[in-house]
Every structure is written in structure tokens, then in C-alpha cells.
Structure 1
Amino acid sequence: MYLDEVSVTSLLSSRTGAIPSEITDTMSTSSRSEVTRGLEADIKILKPSMGSVLENTRTQDRQVLRKATIQATFRDLYKNERERLTICPVPESVDLPSRSQLYALMDSPERILDSPWIISSERLARGNLIEVEVELQADPIFRVSAFFSSFLDMITDSEELAGQVDQAQASKVREFNGILERLRVGLIPIRCRLVDYQTFATTRGEYLIHRRLVEALPEDRRPALTPAFLVGVTEQDLYWKDTRRILFSDAEVRILCRLNKLGIQSTWNSVKLADMVGSLLPEFSEMMNSFGSDALHAMMTNTGGSGTHDSNAETLVTFASLIATDAGISLSDEERAEVQRLAMENSHLLEGELPEIRAAFTSISDYVLTQHGAELDAERVSSLRTRARSQAGLRQGLAIQGTSSAPAPDTEQGRFLDSEVIAIYW
């Protein structure tokens, strides 16, 4: 489904040396026959002689030229590396450790050196090769961009759809999507859930744990688990099938890849050019980092605003929800009603100068955090302000009259293995 020829040849060359690009076989056959006949008569003066030579030569050259294909090169690479992979699929026929060994693994995971059941961050060194089974899925930011492109094209071609969409907002979304596509520069980020592994944390760090090991543990001995995702950036031209057929299907496939960073990561930015821009505009980088999941959530929970003040109030309500989620707070119905009241009361401040805007957000964050005795640092609060404005703005920009709310798509947070994808296959 996907094969990176440069990575394959580079890796194999570094292991085995020069790779033959073509093989030539030459076959040649030759035969010769000669017949001589002579007749000689000795008649003193006259001595006639007669002879003949018959020669038959046949030469046949056949050259068979076979170019080494990238598939054959990948096969050679896989055969060489299969025994040295840091992570590889564990066959169902492999027996689990005994109950006492299971408990020992869970009690002292830092002592494990080469077990496939529990893998420490230290074993996930940069440059190591891994092979994992995943649910193949494009990153939310690509899914949103693909939706924008298709949906806005449909609006252009359909008068009925065009009449139900705010054209001014649609124009802004089109412009933003154009920027997003330029930032991607022909790359497709993927975010694939690991089928066999999840992560759990201890005082000594985070570990990957195999699903079969978790299932074998009693309920009271199972650790708190977090989903694990394989993430990376792929080149659109290297896919062997239409990306729309494979990147939106959640198909279970295997991926061979090389780790880009040491250990298990807690964050990942799917738009790499945003990191460069983020050195000058940190808020832009933060917005790009969360844009995909925010946009999916906004599209699926959109109720359609009805005015500027309503939009501003929605921004503040969204901010309260983000603050509560980040701080691990569950808001009661009474607290939500109070947040709604504060949002309506301070919504007009979002149209003022910067101090007034900050005051509006501060009134919300102070209320939510004070009610539960929680704290968040100023940098994190600033980041959540940016996300709140992004989410609320997207809801307004994508509003379609008459739509009802629907369950939000799965955009849950997790832990990430940042990788360079070499091959995707069944």
C-alpha cells in the first residue's frame, strides 16, 4: 500500500553495502563443422587436384536483463532486520508468562530488557526499527482538510447547498484550507492506533504493554491504560492506492518504520512547517497542533450561532470546558449554568482591547478553577484561550442551517511513537 524506496535502499545499503541495480545473464552457443574432399592424380606432367571445404558456424547470444525491483529490495531488508526489530508482532501461538512471572513483570517493569510483553521508553531509541499492527487512519488535520476541499467544491456546484451555508464564512474557510494545504507541502500525516499495545505510567516512566498481558491480569492488578498511536508523515506520491480508499477505513495493517525520537511522546505536531512558524508565532503553532481534532469536534457538535454576542459567549463557554478537561474537573449542572451566565455577561468584552479580552477569559478560568481548588499555569491557560477561539470560530464558519448536534468523533488524546514510515502492507 505504501513503500518508501529511498528509506529501503538507504537502510539496506547501510547494512550490507552496495545493492545491485540490475542482473545480466549471457548465454552463447557455437558449432562448427568442416569437411574436405580431395582427389589427386599423378600423371607426370599434368597433376590435377580437387578439394572442397564445407563449414557451418552457428552462434546464438541471448541476454536476459532483470532490474531489481523495490519489492525485492524490501524483502531483502525485511529478512535481514526481522530478528533485530525492537517491536514486532507476537504470534498468538506464543505462550504468555506464568501468573507469577506476570506479577513480577508488573512489579518491576524497569528490569525488563527484551520482553515483547512490556517495552520501556529506553528501548525505543531513535533510529530503531519497529513493526506494529495498527488501525490505519489519517491524522485529523488531513481528514479535515480533505473534507473542506470536497465539501466546498460541492457547495460551488450545488445551489441548494450554497443557500444553506454562510458564503462569507465559507470563503474564509476556503482561504484557511488553502494555507493548510500549503503547510502540508504534499505530505499526509497519519495517526494510527496500535492494535496490540497501550501505555501505562509508573514512577520510573512510561511503558508499552501488550493487550494479551493485560487480558491475563486480574481486574484489580490492571494498570490505568492510555491509547498508544503510531504517528508520522508520509508522502502522498508513494501510496500505491488512492488515499481516499485506505486512509479513512480504519483497516488493520502492518507498518514497518524507524523511530524519529527516543521513547514515548506525549505530544506530536502533524504540520511540520508550523514548528518553523511557531518559533516566531507560538500561538500559531499551538493552533495548528490542535486544529484537526478541534475542527472535527466543532463540525460534529455545531449548533449554529445566531449573532456576534452569542458567538463570543460560546467562545467563553468552550474555554470553560477546556479548562475543566485539562484540570481534571467535572462541572455540575449548576456550575455549567453559572459559566453560561458569566459568558453572556462578559461576551461584549471580547470585542474590546486586549486587557478587556483577557479579563473576560480570566473571569471564566478563575470561577472554574476556584470552585475545585485547582491550578493551571499561565502558559497553559493562554494555550487554552487560543483553542477556545479556534473551536468556536470553526463552529461559526461551518454552520449549516438546520443541522442537529451529533456525537463527537474519536479524537482522544494518547501517547505517540513518532516515526518515519518505511512500508505499509497487509
Structure 2
Amino acid sequence: MKRVREFIYLDEVSVTSLLASILGAIPSEITEKLTNSTRTELGGGGEFKAGAGKANAAMKREVTRASDYQVLRKASIQATFKDLYATVESSLVLRSGPFPELKPAAMRKVRYASSMHSEFSPWIVDGASLKRGRLIELEVELRADAIFRTSTIITSMTNIIGQSPALAAEVETQEMRTAIEVNGFIQELMAGLIPIKCRAINYEVSTVEGRDFLIAGDIFPELPEAYRLNRRPLYLVGVVEEALFWKDIRRVLFSGSSVKVLCRVGRDQVQDSWSPVKLVDVLKEVVPDMESAMDEFGPSALRAMTGGVDDSGDVTQLRESALARYGDLLVESQGATMSEELRARIAQVVSSRSSEMGSVVANRAVFRAVAECVSDELSCQFTSDDEARMRGEALTQHGLMVDGSLSVRPGNSSGHLDDTVDGKCIDAEIVAIYW
């Protein structure tokens, strides 16, 4: 049975570029011509003698009938994709299935293997084989990244509120105004691109002895215990162009539908994290806290729209705990142990300066004072990126935003932008999404 595809997203430039790099020139039109010819031949003759003379007579008739017709077919992008897929299918590093049958002899090797090899492909794939530019096909749950979903919700809410003065009066808060302003900034950063983070359906990741293996879910029960214990989900991440969707994005990016994605690996091997807003990587050179601010934008915005959270807890105590945790993270990053003298110095900074926290700039100055204590004690220096990362981690662990205010509590489902659990991801360039 021929495969029937319905496209959700298709990048025509990528499809034609890939096929042209493999086959060379791609025809824009294909002509099929068929000719039929019929030939009839009639022959006859006779001979007679008259005296010394002899005469021959012959008769021949030929009738030819010919007919031909031409079919002109334009090579559409769907047909071009079909040709591309047929060309690269056998060389895909990862595939959506169906998988070939794993023979009993190979299954026995899997059960007692201490390390995996390429002979088990496509059931088990070494993450090191994911090189930039390689083509893969994964079956995933199609889903936009959390920051885009939140931005879309805020945009819709803003449009509704703008048409209803009564609603505007109900939600006119400083937090809501801030969320709307930040949302406009994020939309400018996205520049028509949509980040997606899709959970792979047929593969998961297992890390053993520092190596990542992409393993088909059905085979995990047969693997040694070391692989089962380190089992984590695999995500496909990347950015897509809004203009290239063949269906309304509201119908497909918020449904979690099962689809297949053909893409090219953008970064070698599997990654621990990625940045959904690509311009953030550029802005980090000037604003190291930018990535943390983007990660926390969603909880802040949802808190504004849902009327906030229970703030009965002591914010000051949470800030002090975050500062103390920051000191621990800095020390741990150097492979050292916190001395009692250093702990006392940090505690003095925490008690005297935690009250200054309340804005991004003020927070940075207080956290910097803690970092200086650690630097003096351990005779080391921390980069601005490292400080920003550990500062954000310390705040997040204690339910605080980058400005030191309360975030959405973990127990509050409205604070969960992303229901995904910790896993690893493949950063890819998306060519097509279909089912």
C-alpha cells in the first residue's frame, strides 16, 4: 500500500535543496509520451507462360495507423518530497518505524550486552552517531514550546480585554501590564519563528558510562538493569517558520497530536538543554540573566492572569535561603567544600543585604557580594555566565523570580508551563511535519 501523507508543515527550500544536492538538477515538468502504430501488408502474385515469354504480377498494400498522446505533469513540492524520502529512507539514522524484526540471536546479545553496538540499529542507536546534517525521522507528540504557548495565551487575552472595558478593569494590575510588555518583547525576539518541543514516541534515552543511547521503547524490558535505571524521555526541539504551516497553528500546535517529523540534526549528539528564543544567545553577551528571565516569563505571566498565588510565606526567608544556596553552588562548582569560616562570611552578607533584594539590578549586586566571598576564599574567578546560571538555579529552587518576588508555587498546576519531565533533546532543523 502506498504511503498517504497529509502535511502539516513543509519547508520547500529545504526539500528542493536536499534533493538537488543528491540528484543534481530537479525537473520542473515531466512529459510522458505514448505512441501506437498499426501496419497492414497485403501481397499477391501469379505467373503464366505464353510461348517463349513469361510474365509475373504482384500486388502489395501497406496501411499504417499511428496515434500518440502526451501527459504533462508538473513536479509539485509534494512529489519532490516523495522523491527525496525515497532517496534517503535507507540512510536515516533514526526512523519512525515500523522496525524490522529483531532476530532471536540479536535479542540474546542485547540481553547480555555490556555495551551497545551499531548492529542493533534502528532499535538501539549510539548518540554519537547523531552528527550535524544527518537526516532523521521521528514520531512525536507535536507541541509548541512553553514560552510560545504562554505568549499566545497572553496575546489572546490582551485582544479580549481590549474589547471589554469591564474585563480590563478586573485585570488591570501591574503584573498584567508587565506581562503584556514582556510578551511584546518576546514576540519581537521570535521574529515569526515558533519554537517546538516534542516528545519522541518511539525512542527514549539511556546514559551509561557517560554515553547516551537512543533506544526504542519496546526493547527496554530486555536490556540490562543499568540501561533501565537511567531511562529518560527524548525530545525533538527546533524552530519552525509560522508562514510555512499548511494548517492553522492553533489546531496543531496545542493538540499534542502524533505526527512524523523529517529533520536534519542541528547540533552533534543529544543535548541537555536548548534556548527556544534564538536571539537570547546573542543578548546573553550583554544581559547574562536573559535566559533565566525567559524561562521565568511564563510563571510570572500566568500568575498575573490567574490572580497571583498564596504569598503567606516569608519572602525574606526564601531570599536568604536562595543566597545561601547560591554560595553552596559556587563552592560545589569548584569541587571544594564549604568551610565554617566561609559559611559565616556568607551568612553575614545574607543577613545584612537580603532586604535590598526586590529588583533584577539589586538582586545581582547582592548575589555578587556572595560570589566575591567565595572568590576570595577559594582564590578563583567565576564567569558572568556561570554566575547567572547558578543565580537562576538558586532562585528557582526557592520559588523566586529573577527580581526576588514569589513565583508560582510548584503545587499550583497553573504554574506549570511545561508538563515535560527532565530528559534530553535533539536540536534539529525541521524539514517536514506530516502524518
Q: What is the TM-score of this pair, normalised by structure 1?
A: 0.71
Of residues 384, 387, 400 in structure 1, which corresponds to 2:393?
384
Task: Write out per-residue CA displacement over residues 263-296 of structure 1, whole angstroms, 9 at most, x where no aligned residue.
Answer: 01111011111111112222213433x2466558
Mapped partners of 2:257, 2:401: distance in 1:
34
Match of 1:372 in 2: none
Mapped partners of 2:364, 2:173: distance in 1:
30
Assess if the C-alpha contact under 8 Å between 1:316 and 1:361 holds in 2: no
Amino acid at match of 1:382: R
1:20 aligned counterpart, secondary structure = coil
Within-5 A mapping of 1:50-61: none
Of residues 304, 309, 312 in structure 1, which corresponds to 2:309?
304
Of residues 11, 17, 22 in structure 2, which corresponds to 1:15?
22
Of residues 81, 84, 87 in structure 1, which corresponds to 2:91?
84
Amino acid at match of 1:89: S
Residue 230 of structure 1: how far off its partner (Å) = 0.3
Q: Which ranges in structure 2 are unaligned for 5 or more consecutive residues?
A: 1-7, 37-66, 333-349, 375-385
Say if 1:162 and 1:190 are closer, same or farther in 2 by CA, change over 3 A: same
Match of 1:176 in 2: 182
1:68 and 2:75 matched: yes
Residue 178 of structure 1: how far off its partner (Å) = 0.8
Assess if the C-alpha contact under 8 Å between 2:34 and 2:68 holds in 1: yes
Query: How many residues are aligned here?
Result: 361
Mapped partners of 2:212, 2:305: distance in 1:
33
Amino acid at match of 2:136: I
Residue 425 of structure 1: how far off its partner (Å) = 0.6
Amino acid at match of 1:196: N
Assess if the C-alpha contact under 8 Å between 1:87 and 1:130 holds in 2: yes
1:267 aligned counterpart, secondary structure = coil
Residue 381 of structure 1: how far off its partner (Å) = 2.3
Q: What is the TM-score of this pair, normalised by structure 2?
A: 0.70
Assess if the C-alpha contact under 8 Å between 1:141 and 1:291 holds in 2: no
Match of 1:152 in 2: 158
Within-5 A mapping of 1:215-226: 215-217=221-223, 222-226=228-232
Residue 181 of structure 1: how far off its partner (Å) = 0.5
Say if 1:119 and 1:167 are closer, same or farther in 2 by CA, change over 3 A: same
Assess if the C-alpha contact under 8 Å between 2:137 and 2:262 holds in 1: yes
Assess if the C-alpha contact under 8 Å between 1:193 and 1:228 holds in 2: yes
Match of 1:3 in 2: 10
Residue 319 of structure 1: how far off its partner (Å) = 7.8
1:282 aligned counterpart, secondary structure = coil
1:406 and 2:413 matched: yes
RMSD: 4.2
2:139 aligned counterpart, secondary structure = strand
Amino acid at match of 1:80: T
Assess if the C-alpha contact under 8 Å between 1:266 and 1:416 holds in 2: yes
Say if 1:126 and 1:164 are closer, same or farther in 2 by CA, change over 3 A: same
Say if 1:246 and 1:21 are closer, same or farther in 2 by CA, change over 3 A: same
Match of 2:255 in 1: 249
Assess if the C-alpha contact under 8 Å between 2:145 and 2:195 holds in 1: yes
Assess if the C-alpha contact under 8 Å between 1:261 and 1:418 holds in 2: yes
1:201 and 2:207 matched: yes
Say if 1:160 and 1:141 are closer, same or farther in 2 by CA, change over 3 A: same
Amino acid at match of 1:19: I
Amino acid at match of 2:168: A
Mapped partners of 1:210, 1:231: distance in 2:
19
Mapped partners of 1:351, 1:156: distance in 2:
30
Match of 1:39 in 2: none
Assess if the C-alpha contact under 8 Å between 1:189 and 1:234 holds in 2: yes
Q: Which ranges in structure 1 are unaligned for 5 or more consecutive residues?
A: 30-59, 328-342, 367-376
Of residues 405, 420, 425 in structure 1, which corresponds to 2:429?
420
1:103 and 2:114 matched: no
